[in-house]
Amino acid sequence: MSEEAQERELFEQALQIELVQRIDAVSSYTDQDFGVISRVEWVIFLILGLIVPSICVWWVA
Partner 1 sequence: MSLTIEERLREEALFGRLPLLKEEREYSTRGIISTGFTYAVAAWCFLIGGYSANVVGAVQGIVTLVAGCTIGVIMSAAASALACNRYGLEQIDYTKSCYGQRGARLILLFYIINQIGWTGMILVMFGKGVTNVAAGLGYDGGENLVRICVFAGLVVGYWVINKGVHVLNVFNSIVFPGLLVVTGFLYWAIFKGADWSHICAQIPLAPLDDPRLNYIASFEYGLGAGFSWWPGIGFLTRNTDTQRNSLYPQVLTMGFGMGVVCCTGLLAGLVFRSYDPTVWMIKVGGPLFGVLSLLLVAVANVSASAMMMYTAALALRHVRAFRALSWSKLTLLGFLPVMAYVAIPSTLYDNGSSFLAYNATMFAPISAVLLVDYFMLRKGRLNVSQIFEDSPEGHYWFWNGFNLPALFSAFLGMGLYIWLLNPVTYAAHGPVRFLTASGPATVLPMLLYAVLAYLFLVGKSGGYRDSLDPLPLRKSNL
Assess 6 for contact with partner 1 (CB under 8 A): no
Assess 25 for contact with partner 1 (CB under 8 A): yes
Candidate list 2, 3, 5, 15; residue touching partner 1; CB under 8 A:
15
Sequence-separated (6 or more) residues with CB below 8 Å from residue 30:
none
Q: How far is CA 40 from CA 1, 37, 53, 54, 57, in A?
A: 61, 8, 19, 20, 25
| Interface residues toward partner 1, by CB under 8 A | 10-11, 14-16, 18-20, 22-27, 29, 33-37, 45-46, 49-50, 53-54, 56-57, 60-61
